Structure 1
Amino acid sequence: MSADTTKQAAPPTPGSQPPAPIGHGGDGHLKAGLKNRHLSMIAIGGVIGAGLFVGSGAGIASTGPGILLSYALAGVLVVLVMRMLGEMAAADPQSGSFSAYADRALGRWAGFTIGWLYWFFWVVVLAVEATAGAKILNQWVPGVPQWAWALIVMAALTATNLFSVASYGEFEFWFAGIKVVAIAAFLVIGGLAVFGALPDTDAVGLSNLTGHGGFLPNGVGAVFTGMLTVVFAFMGSEIVTLAAGESEDPEKAVSKATNSVIWRIGVFYLGSILLVVTLLPWDSAEVKASPYVAVLNHVGIPHAGQVMDVIVLTAVLSCLNSGMYTASRMAFSLGQRGDAPKAFATVNSRGVPQVAILSSVVFGFVAVFFNYTSPDTVFSFLLNSSGAVALFVWLVICFSQLRMRKIIERETPERLTVRMWLYPYLTWVAIGMIGFVIAYMFTDEDGRKQMYLSLVAAAIVLGAAVLVGRRRRAAAEAALPKA
């Protein structure tokens, strides 16, 4: 990074809001280079991850058709959280999103802690998704080793993010577009198959929903166990509120994204899973292995496995692309607020936080390395210690919104264009739901391990926040004139 093309964002004065992150390349702010179509597709595609295409099979196998209730409950929670986040983001678009709001509403410790935990979550995701993509590419081109594919994919998307925010938006527009088209085609094909409108198919009725042990073959408790898996599949819905800070019309983009989250979850998740458990027995080995491939094979789509590999690879690349973007913007915001090295808050002439991107990617590369050398020790710790971050983030969003609503109404009521429904009652409902999921995780073997390690990670970051706060106060006191 050359000295003449990099500028540092001015630090916020004590007690003031962080500076708005919208600007032009080279003026110390992120460039508003995302168009409305980019934001719209980021919002739509943000909820469609590889976990939907692959991971949903495990949830169906453990819960049965009742997994629909798991998705519905988790979907309601996500809708409430996104509405709260949308209220704050429309009133005050920030590159740090909920971390910046927590900073202002709850205290510097909260913004610091949740910001760094969220950054940690996404850099670990980079390693997971890079490895998943490398496995698919290695099957297609076995002459290139899997680890090399992981590095190639990471390097290519790093270059994309370094070039400009518009290039990130353009890549994500097409990645998300492919995912949306794939899901839409699946819904049409599956819907026709349900009613026997395809060649060599008969209407299936409700036999698969009520047979094979019934709608809840493993009891009501399995619904909540399934919810643990489903909750983490929705992580990424909030990315649009971070990206809004680099859009041409952030208020409109956030409002549109939060208003559409209900149908996005209802159609893409509930709709597609409903087709799977209606068309096929929930306890079949094919559904557990890959539910969407199983349905495509069932209706006679040729080369279903290869088709799904292409779609999953697209979802993986989309998640990688967004993960780099999200981690770097959170790092930029932390640097801007003095909670990370000052270099993180610098941008180049194109308005790209180059140092923040490279720092995030370096950690991602290190995680990829451990994924191959120490998958059962170091990488397992990284993965499990970031497992419950989604719940921590959502909980902080809820408590921040309770305070931020009063601040916005007092200072800039005209900015309150998106409002949380039935405030504050539904906010407390969401807090109760998150608390229940956290408590239930302690009753599940895998969930308990993730929760313990995530709490350890949170305690370490919180301890760092306390130390930074003490040093900041000591420096401020030392700067005061002596009597």
Structure 2
Amino acid sequence: MSAQPTITVEGPPSDGTGRDSSSGPSDGLQAGLKNRHLSMIAIGGVIGAGLFVGSGAGIKAAGPGILVSYALAGLMVVLVMRMLGEMAAADPSSGSFSAYADRALGRWAGFTIGWLYWFFWVVVLAVEATAGAGILTGWVPGVPQWAWALIVMVVLTATNLVSVGSYGEFEFWFAGIKVVAIAAFIVIAGLAVFGVLPDTEAVGLTNLTGEGGFLPNGPGAILSGMLLVVFSFMGSEIVTLAAGESADPVKMISKATNSVIWRIGIFYLGSIALVVTLLPWNAPAIVKHGPYVAALDVIGIPHAGTVMDVIVLTAVLSCLNSGLYTASRMAFSLGRRGDAPKSFGQVNKRGVPAVAIWSSVAFGFIAVIFNYTSPDTVFDFLLKSSGAVALFVWLVICFSQLRMRKIIERDMPERLTVKMWLYPYLTYATITLILFVVGYMFYDKDGRQQMVLSVAVGVLVLAIGLVLDQRRNRLAAVKA
């Protein structure tokens, strides 16, 4: 393992497998994603089902102070995405942060974070398939929930197997519906707040300052709320993996990185601010029906629950679609780098890594089965042991950027088109913030088990990576 990793600077940037990433992939992957696909993937990537449904738990925990929780979590993601954008713009890769960790920190780091990220997304497949099946069963109760879960998994697997363009097209429309929905909510709720809509009166700041004040549960609740919302931002990094299968990855990565601030500011902070302005933070409907349904009911929008079910189902299908794509591309990158079976790094005649897709969806199917047969044991373990992977990924991106920045400046300064702000100070500040959140999870009784199990699985994967690394080094020494 080299103490001073380098990136070849003769010719266009490479993903470590020899492909020319400035003009689309040449490692067999199909350059089938169009600019409109990448733009919508970037915009919609931060809007998940957790925003529409899970944000209610955060509001209950922190009251109106949840806005500070979202602001802190959003700031952390913006900074991490800027670091990732710097590396990805200089050297686009299908393995994204895993490939950069491989080069900057060592093969053990790329192996560990790559497999943990894959594990996270295949578990998410089971969670989202079950959530989507629950909504569909409510509409068509004659079809059992497990059958709906099977149907959505099969359909989206077929979509990913056809071509990367099929994935992009589905995601374009899924993301488009989410964006239109959240934008419509912001407009309607904003008009209601100011009393512009019929039969509404301006609400002022009563709900933000009443019912115990802005921080009814104390300042510490901000951190508790942050633990509940921080993981809803996972998915922002997908665009850096997907950009590698576009004709102009550098341009799309730069665009996505620069737009992450307004995306988080509008979609998360803007919409949640309207919810806690329209409703008292302790209104039972926020948790029972979800914050957005509760807000629309207060405004007087008919059939708000049904409308939101459609939107949540779209968000679930979008997450399923992107989760399968992301897991398979990470498996593909691991296969190309020799950290997974070689078949994972191969593509079929359509330029699709079929084996990587099938292996990812197979584990997802198994997890779905456990979700029905052993929800409180096996699946509970899978869920909790993958829960903190987002924080691990963000930490690895920070440490990789510290090293990669020096490598890029030394070997290919002309490719430093996206720069981390106030380097290295903001990078160190981000590391400190992430470690603080990790420490608070160990302290928090609800987050402790999740963190302990996630660390245990992380250590296991790391140990496997180190053993394999030592084995490769011994074989290389024997051959030499």
TM-score by length of 1: 0.95
> Which aligned pairs between 1:58-69 and structure 2 lie closer than 5 A?
58-69=57-68
In structure 1, the residue matched to 2:12 is none
Deviations 1:76-110 (A, max 9, x none): 00000000000000000000000000000000000
Amino acid at match of 1:349: K
> For residues 59-138 of structure 1, what are the structure 2 equivalents within 5 Å?
59-138=58-137
Could you say which residue in structure 2 is the equivalent of 1:395?
395
C-alpha contact 1:25 1:347 (8 A) present in aligned 2: no
**AA of the residue aligned to 2:123:** V
| Map of 1:10 onto structure 2 | none
Using the alignment, how far apart are the partners of 2:378 and 2:357 within structure 1?
Answer: 23
| 1:319-334 to 2 correspondences below 5 Å | 319-334=319-334
Please, which of 16, 33, 48 is the counterpart of residue 18 of structure 1?
A: 16
Q: Where does residue 47 of structure 2 map in the other structure?
A: 48
Aligned pair in 2 of structure 1 residues 434, 300: CA closer, same or farther (>3 Å)?
same
Cα separation, 1, equivalents of 2:286 and 2:312: 16
Q: Is the CA contact 2:7–2:411 (under 8 Å) kept in the aligned structure 1?
A: no
Question: What's the counterpart of residue 155 of structure 1?
Answer: 154
Q: Which residue of 1 aligns with 2:227?
A: 228
Aligned residues of 2:182 and 2:271 also touching (Cα < 8 A): yes
Q: Deviations over 1:108-152 (max 9, x none)?
A: 000000000000000000000000000000001111100010000
Q: Does the 8 Å CA contact 1:133/1:150 hold for their aligned counterparts?
A: yes
The question of 1:340 aligning with 2:335 is answered no
Tell me what 2:250 maps to: 251
> Do the aligned partners of 1:25 and 1:351 also contact (CA within 8 Å) in 2?
no
Aligned-pair CA distance for 1:288: 1.8
Deviations 1:386-435 (A, max 9, x none): 00000000000000000000001111111110000000000001000000
Partner of residue 413, structure 2: 413
Matched with 2:271 is 272
Q: Partner of 1:192: helix, strand, or coil?
A: helix
The answer on whether the counterparts of 1:95 and 1:245 sit within 8 Å (CA) in structure 2 is yes
| CA drift at 1:330 | 0.3
Contact 1:441 1:448 in 2 (8 A): yes
Partners of 1:70 and 1:227 within 8 A in 2: yes
1:467 maps to: 467
The 1-side partners of 2:226 and 2:144 are apart by: 36
> 2:433 maps to which residue?
433
**1:295-374 matches, cutoff 5 A:** 295-374=295-374
TM-fit CA distance, 1:27:
6.5
Work out whether residues 25 and 349 of structure 1, in 8 Å CA contact, stay in contact via their aligned partners in 2. Answer: no
8 Å contact from structure 1 (residues 21, 95) kept in 2: no
- In 2, distance between residues paired with 1:132 and 1:297? 23
By how many angstroms is 1:478 displaced? 1.9
* Helix, strand or coil at the partner of 1:442: helix
Tell me the distance in 1 between the aligned counterparts of 2:85 and 2:54. Answer: 28
What's the counterpart of residue 11 of structure 2? Answer: none
CA deviation profile, 1:159-214 (whole Å, cap 9, x unmatched): 00000000000000000000000000000000000000001100000000000000
What is the distance in 2 between the residues matched to 1:293 and 1:22?
48
Could you say if the C-alpha distance between residues 199 and 83 of structure 1 is closer, same or farther in structure 2, counting changes exceeding 3 Å?
Answer: same
**Alignment check: 8 A CA contact 2:51 2:232 kept:** yes
Q: Deviation per CA, 1:336-383: give whole Å up to 9, x if none.
A: 000000000000111100000000000000000000000000000000
Report the CA distance between 1:442 and its aligned residue: 1.1
The aligned amino acid for 2:455 is L
Q: Is the 8 A contact 2:279 2:295 kept in 1?
A: yes
Identity of aligned residues (%): 76
CA shift, 1:475, in A, is: 1.4
Counterpart AA for 2:343: A
Q: Distance in 1 between matches of 2:25 and 2:416?
A: 31
Alignment-derived partner of residue 32 in structure 1: 31
Q: CA deviation at 1:14?
A: 11
Q: Secondary structure of 1:70's partner?
A: helix
Amino acid at match of 1:365: F
Q: TM-score, normalised by structure 2?
A: 0.96
What SS does structure 2 have at the residue aligned with 1:31?
A: coil
- Kindly report which structure 2 residues correspond to 1:372-387, keeping only aligned pairs within 5 A, or say none: 372-387=372-387
Whether contact under 8 Å (2:275, 2:292) holds in the other structure is yes
CA offset at residue 470 of structure 1?
Answer: 1.4
In structure 2, what is the Cα distance between the partners aligned to 1:77 and 1:35? Answer: 29
Distance in 2 between residues matched to 1:62 and 1:341, nearest whole Å? 44
Give the superposition deviation at 1:20.
4.8
CA root-mean-square deviation? 1.5
Q: Which amino acid aligns with 2:91?
A: D
The amino acid of 2:318's aligned partner reads S
Query: Is the 1:20–1:93 Cα contact (8 Å) retained in structure 2?
Result: no
SS at match of 1:347: coil
What number of residue pairs does the alignment pair up? 468
Q: Name the residue aligned to 1:5.
A: none
What do the CA deviations read for 1:206-263 (whole angstroms, capped 9, x no partner)? Answer: 0000000000000000001100111100000000000011011101000000000000
- In the TM superposition, what is the alpha-carbon distance from 1:28 to its structure 2 partner? 4.4
CA distance in 2, matches of 1:27, 1:204: 57
2:257 is equivalent to residue 261 of structure 1: no
Shift of residue 29 of structure 1?
A: 2.0
Residue identity in the other structure for 1:19: T
How far the C-alpha of 1:21 sits from its partner, in A, is: 5.2
Contact 2:24 2:247 in 1 (8 A): no
After superposing the two structures, state which structure 1 stretch, 28-37 or 221-230, moved more: 28-37
Question: How far apart, in 2, do the equivalents of 1:183 and 1:27 lie?
Answer: 38
**C-alpha deviations, 1:434-477, integer Å up to 9, x for none?**
00000000121121000000001001100110111011112111
Please give the alpha-carbon distance, in whole angstroms, between the structure 2 residues aligned to 1:173 and 1:411. Answer: 37
- Where 2:443 maps in the other structure, the secondary structure is coil
Give, in whole Å, the separation in 2 of the partners of 1:14 and 1:192.
55
> 1:25–1:92: structure 2 CA closer, same or farther, 3 Å change rule?
closer
